[in-house]
Structure 1
Amino acid sequence: MTVTDYQLTLDLPLQNVWTFLDDFNNWASFVDGYINHREINPLQSIWTFKGEFGLIEKSIRLRVDRVKTTHPYHMLVHFSSLQNKLSGEACLHANDFGNNETKIDATIKLKVKGMPGPLIRPIVKNMLPKMLNQLGKRIKTEILRKQPALIM
């Protein structure tokens, strides 16, 4: 299993940041390889990506299950490919640091199964931190771009 952590700090109030993050529709398209996603219900969706693993290019469909949590500003998501070759979870937590500063902590755990697993795991281990960093930068740019509209 590959585990990657990421942190991001924004000079915006927690509620404004969370309003953006809490809705997948605001940021799903920022994930590398994103093609589309379809909501089944408020806690389930199917996401489609084009994945490139070295010389291998493949379309991947993930079932994404958002787990209800009792903690505010906390998101836990379980995902698995419809082909059962990929599974994992993502955890996102936002903290108020006062003075309109918000810190976001994210962790992604990813497991590759099956025959191609041993070939793909090293690529994923190298690629995942870069993807998460890129996603964080895109989200930050978009939140800051929309910031005047988010402040109440």
Structure 2
Amino acid sequence: MPNTICKRNITMNIEDIWRFISDLNNWAPLVPGYEQHKMIDHKKSIWVCRGKVGAIQKTVHLTVTITEWTEPNKIAFTLSSSNKQLTGKGTVCANKLSNSETIIICSLTITAKGLAGKMVNGSLRAFLPKLTSHFIDNMIHQMQTKKPSSIAYSL
């Protein structure tokens, strides 16, 4: 079960961070390999991502479901591909360090099943830390330079 945790300190108050991360439309496009997403309701969305893990390049449709929403600190979610061959879970957390500094912690666990599962899981172990680091850096850049989006992206 490949997993990773990435932490970053950011000079921004927790309320502004929460305003950004509490809307999936703001951060879904920041996931590496993102192509598009559709909000089903405020807790469920479908993300289309294209990725290359090892020698395998594939477009996947992931159902992302929010399982915990604790303002202003934590969003937890599960994800699964349409054929259930790829499943996982993750969190995006913000912890206040001071009035103007916050630590953002992103965790992600993904497991591949099926015939290629062992090979894909081996590649995911090396790939997930890079993906998560890139994602959280994109998120911080977006929060610091642009206003959060209020539009929904659709398939």
Q: Fold conserved (TM > 0.5)?
A: yes
**Are 2:32 and 1:32 aligned?**
yes
Q: Is the 8 A contact 2:18 2:72 kept in 1?
A: no
Cross-structure match for 1:57 = 57
How far did 1:54 drift? 2.2
**More relative contact order, 1 or 2 (CA 8 Å, 6+ apart):** 2
Q: Which runs of 5+ in 1 are unaligned?
A: none
**Counterpart code for 1:43:** K
Q: Is the 8 A contact 2:3 2:110 kept in 1?
A: yes
TM-score by length of 2: 0.90
Look up the SS of the partner of 1:41 in the other structure.
coil
- The verdict on how the C-alpha distance between 1:66 and 1:128 changes in structure 2, with shifts beyond 3 A counting, is same
Per-residue CA distance 1:69-127 (angstroms, 9 max, x = gap): 45642111011111111101011211111140011112111111110011111111100
Cross-structure match for 2:152 = none
Cross-structure match for 1:7 = 7
Equivalences for residues 59-74 of structure 1 within 5 A: 59-70=59-70, 72-74=72-74
Q: How many residues align?
A: 148
How far did 1:48 drift? 0.6
Cross-structure match for 1:119 = 119
**Are 2:75 and 1:75 aligned?**
yes
How far did 1:24 drift? 1.2
Cross-structure match for 1:93 = 93
Q: Is the 8 A contact 2:95 2:103 kept in 1?
A: yes
TM-score by length of 1: 0.91
Look up the SS of the partner of 2:137 in the other structure.
helix
Q: Is the 8 A contact 2:68 2:74 kept in 1?
A: no
2:94 and 2:139 map into 1 onto residues whose CA distance is: 14
State the identity as a percent.
Answer: 28
Superposition CA RMSD, Å: 1.5
How far did 1:55 drift? 2.3
